[in-house]
Amino acid sequence: MERAVATAIAVGLGVLLVLTGAASATALLVGVAVLQAVVAISWVFGAQLPGRWGALAIGAMAAIAADVCVSVWPGSRLGTLLAVIGLAVPVLFVHQLARGASRHRIVSSLGGAAALVVFVVAPAALVQLRHEFTGTYSDTDGTSGARVVAVVCAIAAAALVIGYVLDSLAPVPRFDPEVPRGLLGVVGAAGLGGSIGYLALQSSAHSDFANGRGPIAGVVIAALTALLAIAAAFGTHSAQGLEGAPATFARWARLAATVTVPVAVISPVSFLVCLAARV
């Protein structure tokens, strides 16, 4: 049941990002904002972070700042996002001081909130990716950036879906006996990602991903997404049984986090992979 729900979330999130990425820069910004909101809520309540309301506030500010930076200063690539993360560091420590007498599990709270900042800032890289390839990807009609972003989001979502399906059938060989995720899912995700990269990016008419760079980019993005999904599964598994949100809500939040966290974190990685393929 849980694996089916996670698959449905991955499909829905993938469709949202693909459609908004293909539509316009403004639509993509809305899709990114939705991803940022869902990943923040799912991570904070799924990981049972102490000081969760302060962490959500910090995450919201970081997400807004990241979206503004890539929209106002698109020529800076991801440099402005580093500034957002850097400025968030002192705010994270102030958050711990502001918790007052209720301050407990300080390391968990600080580490979880710091991870949250990364998770909500990272999706803004999709907006920058669209800008980098608009008008440069052989065709100059303004749709090139939209194509790249849509394909990248489709690869990430497909990697999650095939990983869940294969792990439901045979989670082997397992990385850990207690977490039902296996290497077979990673291999399947890489194969599917390479196929999508070949079909959607590889073309003699689009030189940026010619000479096999399309499928290679697809394999790298898909394999890393699958590995990030496994890492998220380990992270949320360790949070089970902790005090915090109601058990049912926390359970579904952890499930959503295993989907949203990999999609968020893979965004800046996809940006770098696509730029490397273009060089």
Give 15 or 279, the one with higher predicted confidence.
15
Token pair of 35 as six digits: 């991803």
Q: Categorize the per-residue pLDDT at 137 as very low, low, confident or very high, splitting at 50, 70 and 90.
A: very low
- Phi/psi of residue 174, nearest 5 degrees: -75, 145
Angle at which helices 183-200 and 144-169 cross, to 10°? 150
Q: What is the DSSP string of 181-238?
A: EEHHHHHHHHHHHHHHHHHHT--TT-GGGTTTHHHHHHHHHHHHHHHHHHHHHHHHHT
Contact assessment for residue 218 and residue 205, using Cβ atoms and an 8 Å cutoff: no
21 Cβ contact list (under 8 Å, min separation 6): 27, 28, 31, 126, 130, 146, 149, 150, 152, 153
Least confident among 143-152, 186-195, 201-210 = 201-210
pLDDT of residue 116: 95
Alpha carbon dihedral 216, 8, 265, 270, in 10-degree steps, equals 30
**What span, in angstroms and rounded, lies between the C-alpha atoms of 123 and 267?**
5
Contact assessment for residue 277 and residue 208, using Cβ atoms and an 8 Å cutoff: yes
Least confident among 10-19, 81-90, 131-140, 259-268 = 131-140
219 burial (CB, 10 Å; 0-12 / 13-18 / 19+) is buried
Residue-range definition of the domain harbouring residue 163: 2-278
Token pair of 250 as six digits: 């926390």
Over pLDDT 90: what percentage of the chain?
A: 53
**What span, in angstroms and rounded, lies between the C-alpha atoms of 119 and 257?**
10
pLDDT of residue 236: 75
Model confidence over 108-132: pLDDT tens digits? 889 889 999 999 999 999 999 999 8
**What is the number of other CB atoms lying within 10 angstroms of the CB of residue 106?**
12
pLDDT of residue 187: 95
107 Cβ contact list (under 8 Å, min separation 6): none
Is the pLDDT at 237 greater than 90? The verdict is no
Determine if the peptide bond prior to 173 is cis (ω within 30°).
yes
Contact assessment for residue 185 and residue 164, using Cβ atoms and an 8 Å cutoff: yes
Q: Where are the alpha helices (DSSP H) in 99-210?
A: 106-121, 125-133, 144-169, 183-200
Considering its fold, how many domains does the chain have in total?
Answer: 1
